[in-house]
Structure 1
């Protein structure tokens, strides 16, 4: 490995699109990807362990160890008056009865890596959709922000086969362009009839993740397949896509013989059309803004497929663990079974999520994660007014100032993100509560209040 200074002045992207100057550890995404790739192939049994994998290269992100004394500000340093007030306020407000007794939180100084406040930060709790931060980090690190997914149509033996490539953003308009090319080829060959098949063999047969139940299908998440059109919330997205394709062919004057079926395309099949998705960076933004479970699960599998791992929950999560470890993020008490955070068996400490966000803000290749964080009061996002977020007397002052990933399951609410104080200081935070019996809207109001406290607008 090349010797790189451990601390190098750099400009880091902020959620507002501006830059902030601070000392940051250099992140070599290409090197990290190569090392994880070398260890991720099916024949390898070794994994990246702890923070040692990049110590020699100076790339280890060292996050402050969780402090269990919630009365201590700035770990290892003298607390400022503002820090002391922040600690006092958080200590009082985390005791809000709406949050229940199973609540944890960590606040980091975004510029110095120090822990400002910790309340049960190492306790493993259900993170809900905050798990998507880990999925996004893994996909961007190993595939790259410019990676694109391709859907194809091939022809052979009187059959057009639509082949899924893991593009969860494919629309019927995109498919119509492919249909047009396919029809032109058929008519040029003097053929007006064809069979239609779908090939979604890129992924393993859909299954339930540990902690899932069949009640999730298909509204919370669809069975995970490599082919879908218009994000259809149906049991079999591949056959649904094939039927859309068949209807488009029929509308163009092609007779479709029989029913749409599932079959793996033959090696001799001739390519006739394809569609390439937008870049992964944009897909990640969409996933985070709207907390899209289906995109998350698809990305988990596509990352595994691209690196030669099984296209299963387990294959993807194995890579998540390797990537997080490569950034120096603690895996203590870390348990993840899916890419979306729907699993009720997932457990991630607030300290781990805060460390991960700190690492994300220091890696330019992960900028789309920061850009994709919902903004308090942003309509159309999971922190929008339509969800009743940041709209009470204590938290509405933070509208436009807090950028955070939401997480909501029955019995679990989480909020992890970044915010800039009036003094220009960046803070990273993560809050998780489990098992509160309060009204869900009240729990979210209390959680939003904690974020407004970190921002400082609720002083």
Structure 2
């Protein structure tokens, strides 16, 4: 299931790690990293000759020098890795073969300060990313809408009906709705009205409300059918009518008679505005979504990204907006990239570790701080209670990884058959390292897989030597 129950710069990667120039202008440092990663990935991947079940047959390299029989240190130097990182490479080469991770495992480590790729293992292979996909969703949402964007829920009146109009605010609370109700009741009484009909308008989001690749067991508990109106995050089949019923009850409690049942309608442009509520800034919503890996917020953000970019408010419109932002705004590689939802619950999603690392590396660049800074702030911290890397989830409590508590920020990802961990860490020397690790299909116990993943992150930090 999801996490709650138990993803650039001008680099471009083609299957097998070959670099291909894109129309986007590439900086010199970006070219260097692309070349280094193209060299590093196949060599580090040689330890696992079997092709991933999720990779294309062509996802192998044929142009990398043969290092068979070379020492780890020699291979590291051949990959352009400095002498100071040879131990890191040796450790990662050995630990990625941990049987708990299974045979289909992918990973990459970047040094953001020196613009080099330190290590890679099947880095461009298409992998099911689970909730690591939320990294792509967050990046696109903040870029398209801006960190200060707020979502608006409205109440309008016309023809004897109060209509509650959804604006894609997945964080709307019962108290927020009560304030809308209070204002609406005051207006009704001022007009001498004592009864009213109630309708909901969730037409902002188009059908379907369920994504390709979602298992029936996912909804409504792991994710509710996606609609533009919800109150208190209720996990029900129809969140819009549910919100309307809460609104109607609040009206009745305030002495206004509600006629008939709550219906679904589309507000008319001539309806009279009665009340409105604006959400917290998008930056705060993104932080909440990432800390707790909230699937419903992620899906709503995907739809609103489509709306604000002028696309249809569908899964397809949202993922098209994500692809456009990643490739055209930031130059992130979309090789082997397939995305069908915003949360990563879709079992059809495929995102390589290299792409996730490129997205995370954007967070280390000062020019992106204003727009994307809330992603870095929202990433769970190893050992942080109340987030998905907290002790209540059994994370970073293994003897090999507990040294990294407080030192690693990362997005978790957990589905049946897929576990991922992608994030950033600073070494004791102050080096900014970016990493992404994904496994698909391991038969080990999920907690054992997560312990192995945490060990890899601690290795990247340098505290697990």
User: How many angstroms apart in 1 are the aligned matches of 2:322 and 2:21?
Assistant: 13
Displacement after TM superposition at 1:77 (Å): 3.7
Aligned length: 411
Assess if the C-alpha contact under 8 Å between 1:50 and 1:330 holds in 2.
no
Give the one of 272, 292, 295 matched to 2:274.
272
TM-score calculated relative to the size of structure 1: 0.87
User: Which residue number corresponds to residue 48 of structure 2?
Assistant: none
Give the one of 287, 290, 306 matched to 1:288.
290
Alignment of structure 1 residues 4-403 onto 2, 5 Å: 51-55=22-26, 63-64=33-34, 65-66=37-38, 67=40, 68-70=42-44, 71=72, 72-73=75-76, 77=80, 79-81=82-84, 83-326=85-328, 327-362=330-365, 363-364=368-369, 365-403=371-409
Counterpart secondary structure, 2:24: helix
Counterpart secondary structure, 1:246: helix
User: How many angstroms apart in 1 are the aligned matches of 2:401 and 2:420?
Assistant: 16
Assess if the C-alpha contact under 8 Å between 1:50 and 1:325 holds in 2.
no
Q: Deviations over 1:398-457 (max 9, x none)?
A: 000000000000000000000001111110000000000000000000000000000011
User: How many angstroms apart in 1 are the aligned matches of 2:249 and 2:77?
Assistant: 63
User: How many angstroms apart in 2 are the aligned matches of 1:60 and 1:209?
Assistant: 38
Displacement after TM superposition at 1:341 (Å): 0.4
User: How many angstroms apart in 2 are the aligned matches of 1:355 and 1:103?
Assistant: 18
Assess if the C-alpha contact under 8 Å between 1:74 and 1:115 holds in 2.
no
Counterpart secondary structure, 1:69: helix
User: How many angstroms apart in 1 are the aligned matches of 2:442 and 2:202?
Assistant: 41
Assess if the C-alpha contact under 8 Å between 2:30 and 2:115 holds in 1.
no
- Distance verdict in 2 for CA 1:289–1:73, change over 3 Å: farther
User: How many angstroms apart in 2 are the aligned matches of 1:423 and 1:128?
Assistant: 32
Q: Deviations over 1:61-86 (max 9, x none)?
A: 554334211254478645223x1110
Q: Deviations over 1:363-399 (max 9, x none)?
A: 1110000111000011110111111100111111100
User: How many angstroms apart in 2 are the aligned matches of 1:112 and 1:262?
Assistant: 56
TM-score calculated relative to the size of structure 2: 0.85
User: Which residue number corresponds to residue 64 of structure 2?
Assistant: none
User: Which residue number corresponds to residue 34 of structure 1?
Assistant: none
User: How many angstroms apart in 2 are the aligned matches of 1:155 and 1:352?
Assistant: 48
- Distance verdict in 2 for CA 1:74–1:265, change over 3 Å: farther
User: How many angstroms apart in 1 are the aligned matches of 2:23 and 2:374?
Assistant: 27
Counterpart secondary structure, 2:43: coil
- What runs of 5+ residues in structure 1 fail to find an aligned partner? 1-23, 27-48
Counterpart secondary structure, 1:272: strand
The answer on 1:411 being equivalent to 2:417 is: yes
- Distance verdict in 2 for CA 1:186–1:336, change over 3 Å: same
Quote the RMSD (CA, aligned, Å).
Answer: 1.9
- Distance verdict in 2 for CA 1:349–1:277, change over 3 Å: same
Assess if the C-alpha contact under 8 Å between 2:81 and 2:118 holds in 1.
no
